[in-house]
Amino acid sequence: MSDKEQYDLDAYLDRIGWKGDRRPDLAALRGVHLAHSLSLPFENLDPVTGAAPSLAPGDLMAKMVGGRRGGYCYEHNTLLRLALEALGFRVTPLAGRVTAGAGSPDSRPRTHAMLQVEVAGEPWPYLADVGFGAPGALLLPVPLVSGTEYEGAGRRHRLVPLPHHGPLELWELQAYDHRAGEWAGQYAFTREPFTAQDFEVFNWYVGTHPRSPFTRRPYLQRTLPDGHHLALDGARFTETLADGTVTERELTDEAEARRVVEERFGIAVPDGATLLG
Taking residue 50's Cβ as centre, other Cβ atoms within 10 Å add up to 11
Four-point Cα dihedral 54, 220, 36, 188, nearest 10: -80
Active-site residue, from 33, 76, 112, 157: 112
**Which helix (H) or strand (E) covers residue 77, if one does?**
helix 73-87
Residue 17 to residues 35, 82, 220, Cα–Cα distance (Å): 7, 17, 21
- The CA distance from 36 to 80, in Å, is 8
Active site (annotated) includes residue 129: yes
User: What CA–CA distances, in Å, run from 58 to 4, 7, 52, 75, 196?
Assistant: 10, 6, 16, 12, 15
73, 76, 157, 229: the catalytic one is: 73
In terms of phi and psi (left: phi > 0; alpha: psi -120 to 50; beta: otherwise), the region of 244 is left
Greatest Cα pair distance, the chain, in angstroms, is 54
Would residue 228 show up in a list of annotated catalytic residues for this protein?
no
Q: Kindly list the distances between the CA atom of residue 79 and the CA atoms of 75, 179, 266, in Å, as whole numbers in the listed order.
A: 6, 32, 19
What lies within 8 Å, CB to CB, of 26 at 6+ separation is 119, 121, 122, 126
112 noted as active-site residue: yes
Q: Which of 46, 129, 157, 229 is labelled catalytic?
A: 129
Calpha distance 62→70 (Å, rounded)? 11
Reference 183, options 155, 144, 153, 143; nearest CA is 155
Residues forming the active site: 73, 112, 129
